Structure 1
């Protein structure tokens, strides 16, 4: 089963590129940019990664991102993640980036997006991996600052596939950003938003009704509202679920308590993703393997989750169908020879 999960074609729709910064690359970039780090060695970094809640994690996350200075740094960060996709049979990825994390430090928007975009183009040409880029607003900052970064991003609109909303959920409800998302919609950018991770089911409703999002990132607390679950199922609104992240941040105390397979069996369009893999103990395959080991996920459930990942993507229908056909061929071939 682990061999099957590892080789199974899949997409990843919830990945923060800054959250894929492995300790080794962090040290390399700090050295390259002549920056001091608050960690003596790799082991000290790994110790620092033993956080217990979302805010503790975010504090470390933003501090670590300070090593990203040049366009080449952003290229190297993105390329390292895309090479991991190639190893893990991830054929398509929709990548979040947080420009405000960098522009607040005096890094230009162009430096960030050009470095990332160059790696995406090289991955398509050299690795055969397709990708799209989603710009996220930091919800702990003001709506005015979000609007400012949206305006700053407008010359680069062709490089963006959509906008999202991330960072500290509690105390920063979706409605805070209604006008920003209206402006993004006028620019032709589809929306996604983090909701229902630490925040209540109400945040999911508001992300859908006020921000007009097409996907909910996380969304696991939808189960607190039966009507919401019914709407998600009926409209097939995708949830980009991140199991290892949810357990690391104590949304669930243990993987055996996770509700993703229950939601799947109810017909909700759930997908498996890694969120911030350098911090949460694994990339997308490690998340699939954790579901198998803790919840006895079946092969049929795994295939359904992978199908959902392609269907929930922002790819054109023709490209979705081509990827789904590759998954079907793999599953059929494995049934014969696996």
Structure 2
């Protein structure tokens, strides 16, 4: 069958091709309701489908952005994605979601795929393993924004939490309740994964400020798959901790599973605080004290920054870092 064109729609509606084009691009400023109705009827009658590729070439925009997250299983990732999608919907943009699993090779493939699809910009939680690739994007003035992580040697605007303050709030809440043997559980530390490094540093600084001696064995970095065993070894110390801070939501789940398996009572036998609020925090028994990061606001900020860059591709002289404030949500677990 012959492909229906804008000219066919225009002829059926009794208007010019430029009027149909204005309708398709939602430029209705000088278009009467009857004209819009005729065009709409013509599109439906002819089953017209716009040529998205041709329109993209003409407008030099695919009205699409890419979002690369480190691990889509994190509550933070899903909230950020939702916020970005909301902003993109307001701008009539589409979003391609990519999960890099913190693997530089996978991240590289996604960047290359998104560039091949000619997305207008990228928001990424970078692995840190593709510095040269990101530097090349910056050199070409390609619109890009980083989330959650600082990558040294790359001048890209970054949106992230004040991670040290998040740990400080957790330690302070425990100290106020009389706890002084405070542990912090984390996935393996990696200089490219900013939140882990900064939250551990914040924990150490908070202990020092409260004049609590640092017990190195209370800092437990471990693979998620081995975390419960690692916690168990720590709890076998001659003087085990009486409070645990989970560095993120996935760690919190492992801590709670260990506590349940050991039939320990929260907070009587062990106090627990998680950095990152989780959906089940207020319905868990006892309800969980958490340090929340404003993920929706952070996602909105990243998306708005990207749209500013896409509208004005002139690169600024220096990348900006946008830190967001954490919030302690006090409940019953400490």
TM-score normalised by length of structure 1:
0.28
TM-score normalised by length of structure 2:
0.29
The structure number with the bigger radius of gyration is 2
More helix by share: 1
